Structure 1
Amino acid sequence: MQETYDSLLKAAREALDGQDAQKAFSVFRRVLEYPGAQELDHSSRWKEAWELFADIATPIAGEEFAAIVRQAAQDERDVQALYNLGYQLIEQSLHGMAATVLLRAHLLVPGAEPMVTELVVALEGMGAHAEAARLLQAQPQLVQSSFMCRYLLAYNALMSGDVDETRRLAPGLESLLARSGAEEEQAQAFAGMKERIHQMLARADALQGVSPLDKKDLRGWHFVTTGGVLLHLSPYGFDEGMTGRYAFLQDSQALCLEGIRRVEAVLDQAGRKPPRVFVLPDRHSAILAHATARVLGLPTEPWPEQGSDAPGLIVAYDVLSLEVPLLQTLRTHRPGQVLWSHATQWTEEAPFAADLTTFLYQQNTSPWGERLRVNPETQKVERTAPTEGTVEALAEEVPSALLEDTALADLPELTKRVAAMAQVKGDAAGGLFREQGHRRRSLTDSPVKSNRFN
């Protein structure tokens, strides 16, 4: 049965009547997601839809948020109410719904900078960078006069894969920054934005001739946007929408060993052989660290509670799974230290980007965690208990895992790119080559798009 505005409205009301606000939200958000159902063009439907959303939001987000929704529902031409709602929706990470509201406000007051920039932020949050760039390109006066608008266009153009447009815009950021009249704190933030654009361009320039930076170059864009090295590309569904990322993965000892071998090759290419392997307190990280030390023939050392300035390879199974106090000790680059996160979830932003990442996933289970299997007797899917054993005993099994003959076939291509990455100096350098400063943001998007699954 085809979903319509009326059928979704009915289903959401039934769920709400049944005291299931979360179900009502998951059903009805499809009406409100950018650019919104066509019915929202009618005042009565606009009011009806957003008032229902306010009722849904009350038990989930509270009455204060619901009141902001109701204010915008009363009059779809109340620009301030629309702006307030759009802002709050962004705060709730509901970027698609925010874009619907803010587009309405933008059409009422075209060219108003606060509305344009907030709408761009919402589109960015959706991963709609090309649409954000087109919106800004349609406002040439703002791009010429506003540092923020010029920066947002430069950034979204690059995140759309248009390096040439970003390169054209970058020189003008300096003069706009000088003329911005911003207070000290905001001026420092603007200076950081300008530097971010110049650094990404420097990394893109370094890859010319060795990495195509096209719509399928996941490794290349991972380096440009985060400064990290992506070691492994998923072969599954590459041309069917995944383009090198994993959707659902049950990791294996073989893939862990492959990751170790790729780390070894990259460190050799970069001339960054570590004197030790640091073992983090996280169990899965500790297993992988001990396995890595065995393969590389290096001693292990526990990572101190307060961190360490000593050189070494820091092995994390998955940075996103680490506790916040531990993460704080890993945030800063130090001379001779390299942070490797074997697994990185690409649909949720990690606290920072690791210098090396084996693979990107949406859902993953480690080789030693609770896993799914098909019971051979019942043919039903069931969960297995986590693997028992000491960290050291489980680590001993990894080096003997069997790799497929083609598992490391692309190492020459990978190391060639790493050699090019090494040419970037100073603050723009990739994480593998930095020895000071904070690690960069870990992004959930890039010019290379992939399917997402709920």
Structure 2
Amino acid sequence: MSTELSKARELLESGDPEGAMRTLRLAADGVASAEVAPLVARLAEGAGFTDLAEASADLAARPVEAESLYRFGYACVERGIPALAVPALREALRLSLASPPEPERTGFFRRMAKPRTRTRLAPRRVLLELVTALERLERHADALALLHEHDSLMEDWPDRYLTVYNALMAGRTDTARQVFDRLSEPEGVWVAPGRRVGRMLERAAALPPAGDQDLRGWHYALTGGLLLTLSPHGFDQGMTGRWAFLQDDLDSCRHGLERLRAVLAATGREPASVGLLPDRGSRALGLAASRLLGVPAHPYRPGTPDVLVVAYDLSACDPDTVHALTERAPGELLFEHATCWTETPGASADVCTLLVQSVTAPWEPGLRLSEDGRPERTEPDGRSAEELAEAILAADPAPPEGDGQTPDDPDAALAAFAARAAGLWADGPRDRIRSSGPVRSGRFA
């Protein structure tokens, strides 16, 4: 038994199933799936995941059968642990591509009962599931290489569409364009995804991202949105402009609104009103935006033309409202202050202030250092949305200081980018993009 597997077993037996699963995820590529399966079965049973428990038990009993490996990998993907799925599905693909097994003997007499038919697992089926697992891990370059290797197995939809998508997410726009141009016309459920990658390719061609650290360029190419700020901390240490954790403040909210105003001016957009979302944070930010832009504010109603919808964090908003925002009314814009980049919201904002994995809003309880240097919990800010809006308008609009490693990002540079992007900006549905794309950033496990 491997050291990692032993450690995972010890963690489970000590009452730490989350720690056991983290250990298995990290060790997945170095341990045979059949060896992992018994422990995964125990974890799945404890979590109530009957499908995964059964697939794990089946793999433990039949460790070298492609179907067992496939079922295990499929269940792992469904239950959000694609790291365990990848090695199982790779082996299932290898076995499914090998020669089919010899037929079972039927005995001496034809009157004997016909034996159970063995069906060969279709390699294409395994390939597509393996690509799904790699995509969930944002291993787009690996998915792209796999798709190229097995192109002879593939059809246009969804197979070669996935080649286009993974090429884009890996930063390979030339490859994506070449494959996209050869695709047949999509039908049915594949029409919308086909149009989505087509819009990505149009934006990337109109405003090509400048390498794998151009966070604003890639954010625009993939989501169609304009990113207002880059994190001033840890750019060269792997954050590349994103935040992992942010304890936000009112100054950041005011700075974001000032940058929003610069983008609106650069793109020639003049909202007729501000649409207020019902949560307190979004309402406060919306009221502040209304005052700053000199336009009226009303509760958001889907279908309102020329409205600027303001959200503090769409991940904290009502899911039905977010879903309604995927389709835009004429002239409608969606602004989000803090956008989660690891669990993206259901609608991609047209403008966002910052990209963050985990944020504590200024009015939520947070942490601060006491006079003796120890961390202590702060009290929540109980002021109304109207009072918070006044506080945002009174805050310092200057950009935050950082460690000096993030590239300069003056207002003029943002305005120039927005002006170049304006032709293809804020057009079409606000597709959810689950991947962070070619620009990699550090994140919490």
Same fold (TM over 0.5): yes
SS at the partner of 2:344?
A: coil
1:88-99 to 2 correspondences below 5 Å: 88-99=75-86
SS at the partner of 2:239?
A: coil
Of the three residues 70, 89, 93, the one matched with 1:102 is: 89
Of the three residues 435, 442, 445, the one matched with 2:433 is: 442
Report what 1:318 is aligned to. Answer: 313
1:51-62 to 2 correspondences below 5 Å: 51-62=38-49
State the TM-score, normalized to the length of structure 2: 0.87
Report what 2:184 is aligned to. Answer: 174
For structure 2, the 5+ residue unaligned runs are 98-121, 402-407
SS at the partner of 1:315?
A: strand
Q: CA deviation at 1:320?
A: 0.6
Q: CA deviation at 1:301?
A: 1.6
Whole-angstrom distance in 2 between the partners of 1:340 and 1:146: 36
Is this contact kept in 2: 1:331–1:352, CA < 8 A?
yes
Question: What is the aligned-residue identity percentage?
Answer: 36
Q: Does 1:49 align with 2:36?
A: yes
1:196-207 to 2 correspondences below 5 Å: 196-207=196-207
For structure 1, the 5+ residue unaligned runs are 41-45, 178-186, 425-429
Whole-angstrom distance in 2 between the partners of 1:25 and 1:140: 34
Q: Please identify the structure whose Cα radius of gyration is greater.
A: 2
Report what 2:62 is aligned to. Answer: 75
Number of residue pairs matched?
415
Q: CA deviation at 1:452?
A: 1.3
Whole-angstrom distance in 1 between the partners of 2:183 and 2:275: 41
State the TM-score, normalized to the length of structure 1: 0.86
Is this contact kept in 2: 1:333–1:438, CA < 8 A?
yes
Q: CA deviation at 1:8?
A: 3.0
Q: CA deviation at 1:442?
A: 3.4
After superposition, the Cα gap between the structure-2 partners of 1:444 and 1:371, relative to the gap in structure 1 and judged at 3 Å, is farther
Report what 2:412 is aligned to. Answer: 412
Question: Which residue identity is paired with 1:16?
Answer: L
After superposition, the Cα gap between the structure-2 partners of 1:331 and 1:167, relative to the gap in structure 1 and judged at 3 Å, is closer
Report what 1:127 is aligned to. Answer: 138
Question: Which residue identity is paired with 1:169?
Answer: V
Q: CA deviation at 1:405?
A: 6.8
Whole-angstrom distance in 1 between the partners of 2:162 and 2:326: 26
Report what 1:180 is aligned to. Answer: none
Question: Which residue identity is paired with 1:122?
Answer: A
Is this contact kept in 1: 2:326–2:348, CA < 8 A?
no
Is this contact kept in 2: 1:206–1:423, CA < 8 A?
no
Q: CA deviation at 1:333?
A: 0.1
Q: CA deviation at 1:341?
A: 0.6
Report what 1:422 is aligned to. Answer: 422
Aligned residues: CA RMSD: 2.2
Question: Which residue identity is paired with 1:15?
Answer: L
Report what 2:118 is aligned to. Answer: none
CA displacement 1:95-144 (0-9 Å, x = unmatched): 1111111011112123921111111111111010011111111123235x
Is this contact kept in 1: 2:52–2:76, CA < 8 A?
no
Question: Which residue identity is paired with 1:363?
Answer: S
Q: CA deviation at 1:19?
A: 4.3
SS at the partner of 1:241?
A: helix
1:202-213 to 2 correspondences below 5 Å: 202-208=202-208, 211-212=209-210
Q: CA deviation at 1:13?
A: 2.6
After superposition, the Cα gap between the structure-2 partners of 1:196 and 1:327, relative to the gap in structure 1 and judged at 3 Å, is closer
Q: CA deviation at 1:155?
A: 1.3
Whole-angstrom distance in 2 between the partners of 1:167 and 1:24: 42
More deviation, 77-86/240-249: 77-86
Is this contact kept in 2: 1:373–1:381, CA < 8 A?
yes
Question: Which residue identity is paired with 1:423?
Answer: G
Is this contact kept in 2: 1:369–1:386, CA < 8 A?
yes
CA displacement 1:252-281 (0-9 Å, x = unmatched): 111111110111111112221112222211
Is this contact kept in 1: 2:303–2:328, CA < 8 A?
no
CA displacement 1:355-414 (0-9 Å, x = unmatched): 11110001111111111111114x221211111222222211222322447889522222
